[in-house]
Structure 1
Amino acid sequence: MNRLNVCDFGAVGDGRTLDTRAIQAAIDAAAPGDVVVLPSGHYLSFTLALRSHVHLVLEAGCVLEAADPVLHGGRYEEAEPNPFDLYQDFGHSHWRNSLIHAIDVEDVSISGPGLIDGRGLTREGPGSRWRKQAGEFPLSMQGMSSTELAVLSPEISAMSNLGNKAIAVCRAKGVRLRDFTILRGGHFAILATGADDLTIENLLIDSNRDGIDIDGCRRVIVRGCRVNTPNDDAIVLKSSFALGERRATEDVVIEDCQVSGFDPGTLYSGTRGRTQLFSPDRDRVTGRIKIGTESSGDFRRIRIERCTFERSRGLALETVDGGTIEDAVASSLTMRDITTAPIFLRLGARLRAPEGAVPGAIRNVTIRNVTAEGILPDYAALIMGLPDHPIEDVTLENVRLVYEGGGTESDAARQPAELEDAYPEPSMFGRTPAFGLWARHVHGLTLKGFSVTTTTPDARPDILFEDVTRI
Structure 2
Amino acid sequence: MDRRSLLLASGATLMAAGWTDQAGAVAAGIFEDVRQHGAIGDGVAIDSPAINRAIEAAAQRGGGTIVVPPGRYLCFTIRLRDNIALVLSAGATIIAASPETHGAHYDPPENYMEEQFQDFGITHVHNSLIVGDGVSNVAILGPGMLHGIGLDRAGPGERWHGRGQWQSAAALGITPREQALQNPEERAAVGRANKTIGLMNCRGVRLQDFTILQAGHFAVIAHGCSNVQIDGLVIDTDRDGIDIDACRDVRIVNCTVNAPKDDAIVLKSSYALGRPVLCEDILVTGCKTSGYLMGSLLDGTYRPSDYNIENIGPLGRIKLGTETNGGFRNIRITDCICTATRGILLGIVDGGTLEDVSVSNITLRDPFNHPLFIHHAARMRAPRGTSVGAVRRVQFDGISVTGARLPYPCGVEGIADAPVEDVTFRDIDIVARGGGTAEDAAREPEYRRETSLEVSYLGTLPAAGLYARHARRLTVRGFNLSLGAPDARPAVALRHVAGANLDAITSPAERAMVVDARDSTNVALGQISTA
Q: TM-score, normalised by structure 2?
A: 0.83
Instruction: Measure, in 2, the Cα distance between the counterparts of 1:292 and 1:410.
Output: 32
Please name the residue that 2:211 is paired with. Answer: 181
Q: Deviations over 1:320-339 (max 9, x none)?
A: 10111101111100010100
How far does residue 155 in structure 1 lie from its aligned partner after superposition? 2.3
Please tell me whether the aligned partners of residues 69 and 89 of structure 2 are also in contact (alpha carbons under 8 angstroms). yes
Amino acid at match of 1:268: L
How far does residue 401 in structure 1 lie from its aligned partner after superposition? 1.3
Amino acid at match of 2:103: G
Amino acid at match of 2:75: S
Pairing 1:253-264 to 2, within 5 Å after superposition: 253-264=283-294
- Pick one of 109, 114, 118 that aligns with 1:88: 118
Q: Deviations over 1:224-260 (max 9, x none)?
A: 0000101000000000111111100000000000011
Instruction: Measure, in 2, the Cα distance between the counterparts of 1:93 and 1:424.
Output: 19
1:218 counterpart = 2:224: no
Please name the residue that 1:442 is paired with. Answer: 471
| SS across alignment from 1:267 | coil
1:324 counterpart = 2:356: no
- Pick one of 102, 107, 114 that aligns with 1:72: 102
Please name the residue that 1:23 is paired with. Answer: 51
How far does residue 277 in structure 1 lie from its aligned partner after superposition? 4.1
Pairing 1:365-384 to 2, within 5 Å after superposition: 365-384=394-413
1:338 counterpart = 2:364: no
| SS across alignment from 1:286 | coil
| SS across alignment from 1:356 | coil
Instruction: Measure, in 2, the Cα distance between the counterparts of 1:110 and 1:309.
Output: 26
Instruction: Measure, in 1, the Cα distance between the counterparts of 2:115 and 2:366.
Output: 37
| SS across alignment from 1:266 | coil
Q: Deviations over 1:63-121 (max 9, x none)?
A: 10000011123511111142155210101100100000000110000000000000000
Q: Deviations over 1:305-345 (max 9, x none)?
A: 10011000111111010111101111100010100000010
How far does residue 376 in structure 1 lie from its aligned partner after superposition? 1.7
Amino acid at match of 1:104: G
Query: Residues 45 and 273 (structure 1 numbering): CA distance in 2 closer, same or farther, change over 3 Å?
Result: same
Please tell me whether the aligned partners of residues 125 and 154 of structure 1 are also in contact (alpha carbons under 8 angstroms). no
Instruction: Measure, in 2, the Cα distance between the counterparts of 1:169 and 1:295.
Output: 19
Matched positions, count: 452
Query: Residues 81 and 217 (structure 1 numbering): CA distance in 2 closer, same or farther, change over 3 Å?
Result: closer
Please tell me whether the aligned partners of residues 291 and 305 of structure 2 are also in contact (alpha carbons under 8 angstroms). no
Instruction: Measure, in 1, the Cα distance between the counterparts of 2:150 and 2:92.
Output: 17
| SS across alignment from 1:368 | strand
How far does residue 158 in structure 1 lie from its aligned partner after superposition? 2.8
Instruction: Measure, in 2, the Cα distance between the counterparts of 1:411 and 1:450.
Output: 21
1:246 counterpart = 2:282: no
Amino acid at match of 2:402: E
Please name the residue that 2:138 is paired with. Answer: 108
Query: Residues 154 and 249 (structure 1 numbering): CA distance in 2 closer, same or farther, change over 3 Å?
Result: farther
Please name the residue that 1:42 is paired with. Answer: 72
| SS across alignment from 2:476 | strand
How far does residue 157 in structure 1 lie from its aligned partner after superposition? 2.5
Please tell me whether the aligned partners of residues 317 and 343 of structure 2 are also in contact (alpha carbons under 8 angstroms). yes
Instruction: Measure, in 1, the Cα distance between the counterparts of 2:467 and 2:287.
Output: 28
| SS across alignment from 2:489 | coil
Pairing 1:390-429 to 2, within 5 Å after superposition: 390-429=419-458
Please tell me whether the aligned partners of residues 382 and 426 of structure 1 are also in contact (alpha carbons under 8 angstroms). no
Please tell me whether the aligned partners of residues 313 and 338 of structure 1 are also in contact (alpha carbons under 8 angstroms). yes
Please tell me whether the aligned partners of residues 372 and 402 of structure 1 are also in contact (alpha carbons under 8 angstroms). yes
Pairing 1:46-57 to 2, within 5 Å after superposition: 46-57=76-87
Instruction: Measure, in 2, the Cα distance between the counterparts of 1:342 and 1:371.
Output: 9
Runs of 4+ in 1 over 6 A off after TM superposition: none
Please name the residue that 2:378 is paired with. Answer: 349
| SS across alignment from 1:312 | coil
Instruction: Measure, in 1, the Cα distance between the counterparts of 2:53 and 2:320.
Output: 39
How far does residue 133 in structure 1 lie from its aligned partner after superposition? 4.4
1:59 counterpart = 2:93: no
Please name the residue that 1:456 is paired with. Answer: 485
Please name the residue that 1:145 is paired with. Answer: none
Amino acid at match of 1:403: A
How far does residue 156 in structure 1 lie from its aligned partner after superposition? 1.7
| SS across alignment from 1:44 | strand
Q: Deviations over 1:243-292 (max 9, x none)?
A: 1111000000000000110111111111111141414x554210011000
1:5 counterpart = 2:33: yes
Please tell me whether the aligned partners of residues 340 and 426 of structure 1 are also in contact (alpha carbons under 8 angstroms). no
How far does residue 130 in structure 1 lie from its aligned partner after superposition? 2.4
Root-mean-square deviation over aligned CA pairs: 1.4
Pairing 1:77-226 to 2, within 5 Å after superposition: 77-83=107-113, 85-133=115-163, 155-226=185-256
Query: Residues 263 and 249 (structure 1 numbering): CA distance in 2 closer, same or farther, change over 3 Å?
Result: same
Please name the residue that 1:148 is paired with. Answer: none
Please tell me whether the aligned partners of residues 379 and 426 of structure 1 are also in contact (alpha carbons under 8 angstroms). no
Pairing 1:242-321 to 2, within 5 Å after superposition: 242-279=272-309, 282-321=311-350
Report which stretch shifted further, 445-454 or 187-196.
445-454
| SS across alignment from 2:298 | helix
Query: Residues 154 and 405 (structure 1 numbering): CA distance in 2 closer, same or farther, change over 3 Å?
Result: farther
Gaps of 5+ in 1: 135-152
Instruction: Measure, in 2, the Cα distance between the counterparts of 1:83 and 1:157.
Output: 15
Query: Residues 74 and 91 (structure 1 numbering): CA distance in 2 closer, same or farther, change over 3 Å?
Result: closer
Higher relative contact order (CA 8 A, sep 6+): 1
